[in-house]
Structure 1
Amino acid sequence: MMMMMMKTEMAAVFVNTLLLLCCCFITSTVSQENVYAAAGEDVTLRLKNKLDSSERLYWKHNGTQIALMKSGRVVIGVDEGLGTDGSLTLRDLKKGSVEVYTSQIFKGGNLEHENTFIVRVLDKVQKPTLVATCEKHTETFKCQVPQAEGLTIAWLQDEKPLKETGPTLTRDPKKLTAESSFKCNVSNHISFEISQPVKKTCPVPDPPATKELFGFDFWTMVGILAGGGGLVLLLIIVTIVLCTRARRRRHNRLKAEGRGELEMAWSNQQ
């Protein structure tokens, strides 16, 4: 009798050990993700794994069971938006709410897959207004939008994206053309809107007044006169040289003629 009891206890220990070993080798997948949805609209939460007819599916909302699918049939949850593929559709979501939905798939008595969806309900972005002002010789663009939280603001210049972000953009008006245009792009996780294009408002400075001489640009006339003055000076120098050479030739000729007359006079006296 004692031997039989010992064998029975040993068999029970063996079975328990075997069950523990089996449990160690049974693994389940667990995941979590953020889902963003627009207020007043529907969103569908889809399973990460295909549901087998031999598996049971449970959906929980903030820890409370709301749906059950068993043997491929929806047992609980038709009114909760449970589809035949196990997906759960949420309807008429409320602005600003954060809800937690969890799907659990069991096979036999074991949890196979568990997926947690953190659903965040947001408002769609409204169209921003872009305002340009000229402040202390700086062009300032301000992107104005009613929502203030959870937004990303990007900028475009002449339809090309800029690296700057944030509600304010500044530029040197001297580096902008009259046709330069700017836009701001406001977005969140579910939508985006782009403002109407706006151009700079800083006035273009008047060009410096030009001096005139004889009805023409001052410096142009200075250049012309400077060039003309050089030509006149050259003519004067050439004239002086020519006159000097002519005078020298005349002097030499007169000197030669005087010497000839003197020689003739001496000859006659002799």
Structure 2
Amino acid sequence: MRIVKKMASAATIAVFLLCCYFIVSSGSQADCNVYAATGSSFTVRLQHVLKDSDSLRWFKNKKVIFLRKSKLVIRGKNDDVDSNGKLKLTQLTKDKSGRYRPEVHREDGTSAVDLPSVRLCVLDPVQKPKVTVTCDKTKVTFTCDAGQNFPIKWFMDNKNGPENETGKELKRPVKDVLNARFSCNVSNPVSSEISQPVQQDCIKSSFPETLFGVIKISADCQCFFQFRNCIILYIIFFFG
């Protein structure tokens, strides 16, 4: 019994730590007010007019990453900051995510106040998604493979799909989408990609999509001419 209790306690602790990890991860990204893609560059502006006699510090979180006193660079490199005091971040990697904050001290010992900081998050660009098709009797399922859990937006014949359909799967009756082309878009704050459009391959229509390349035939027409207007349309063009 004691062994069972210990195992249960260990499992509870593991679940708790996992939940904490996701909360911290999502919370840290939610705090970001600027985003940049890995491999790109980003410049943090200094909202202050520098004088040659001023001392400038740039912090990443609580660590001083750049210090310049009266044009003399004490920490960091000359190329890290331009003449106006802007911090230049290049070849960004995820470990460069964090809060960047400036400090300016004047020659008389006073400090500039209310200098804004930024919370930067560095993210990988999204990969191009792919749509696959699965047939199930009278229904077809389109699945958007995005690689990760990104927001998904569906398109049908290059037009926006319903706003409430944002899941990885999109299901439709086959007869309603015989020749429709579906694609999905995935995005994050630094990039956006859309898949190649695909069509259902559950049922092959024996009728053309258009008449003489002008009039588009509906899916209902293609399903054995179920509606009267489809029959009339064919009679006019073929027997009229």
TM-score range with shorter-chain normalisation?
0.5 to 0.7
More helix by share: 1
* Structure 1 CA distance for aligned equivalents of residues 183 and 156 of structure 2: 7
Map of 2:113 onto structure 1: 112
Rg (Cα) greater in structure: 1
Which secondary structure state, in structure 1, belongs to the residue aligned with residue 114 of structure 2? strand
* Structure 1 CA distance for aligned equivalents of residues 154 and 177 of structure 2: 16
Q: Does the CA contact (< 8 Å) of 1:74 and 1:82 recur in 2?
A: no
* Structure 1 CA distance for aligned equivalents of residues 190 and 68 of structure 2: 30
Mean Cα deviation higher: 91-100 or 181-190: 91-100
* Structure 2 CA distance for aligned equivalents of residues 96 and 139 of structure 1: 43
Q: Map Cα deviations across residues 210-258 of structure 1 (whole Å, 9 max, x no partner).
A: xxxxxxxxxxxxxxxxxxxxxxxxxxxxxxxxxxxxxxxxxxxxxxxxx
Query: Is 2:49 the partner of 1:51?
Result: yes
Which secondary structure state, in structure 2, belongs to the residue aligned with residue 75 of structure 1? strand
Report the TM-score, using the length of structure 1 for normalisation: 0.55
Q: Any stretches of 5+ residues in structure 1 without a counterpart?
A: 1-31, 209-270
* Structure 1 CA distance for aligned equivalents of residues 201 and 112 of structure 2: 65
* Structure 2 CA distance for aligned equivalents of residues 74 and 36 of structure 1: 31
Q: How does 1:91-240 map to 2 (within 5 A)?
A: 91-95=90-94, 98-107=97-106, 108-146=109-147, 148-149=148-149, 151-162=150-161, 163=163, 164-178=165-179, 180-203=180-203, 207=224
Deviation at 1:131, TM superposition (A): 0.4
* Structure 1 CA distance for aligned equivalents of residues 56 and 167 of structure 2: 45
Q: Map Cα deviations across residues 21-76 of structure 1 (whole Å, 9 max, x no partner).
A: xxxxxxxxxxx8522222233222123x24242754321122122223456x3634
* Structure 1 CA distance for aligned equivalents of residues 144 and 95 of structure 2: 24
Map of 1:7 onto structure 2: none
Report the TM-score, using the length of structure 2 for normalisation: 0.62
Q: Any stretches of 5+ residues in structure 2 without a counterpart?
A: 1-30, 206-221, 226-240
Residues 172 and 206 (structure 1), Cα distance of their counterparts in 2 relative to 1, 3 Å cut: closer
Q: Does the CA contact (< 8 Å) of 2:59 and 2:66 recur in 1?
A: yes
Q: Report percent identity of matched pairs.
A: 37
Residues 207 and 94 (structure 1), Cα distance of their counterparts in 2 relative to 1, 3 Å cut: same
Q: CA-atom RMSD, angstroms?
A: 2.7
Residues 106 and 136 (structure 1), Cα distance of their counterparts in 2 relative to 1, 3 Å cut: farther
* Structure 1 CA distance for aligned equivalents of residues 94 and 68 of structure 2: 29
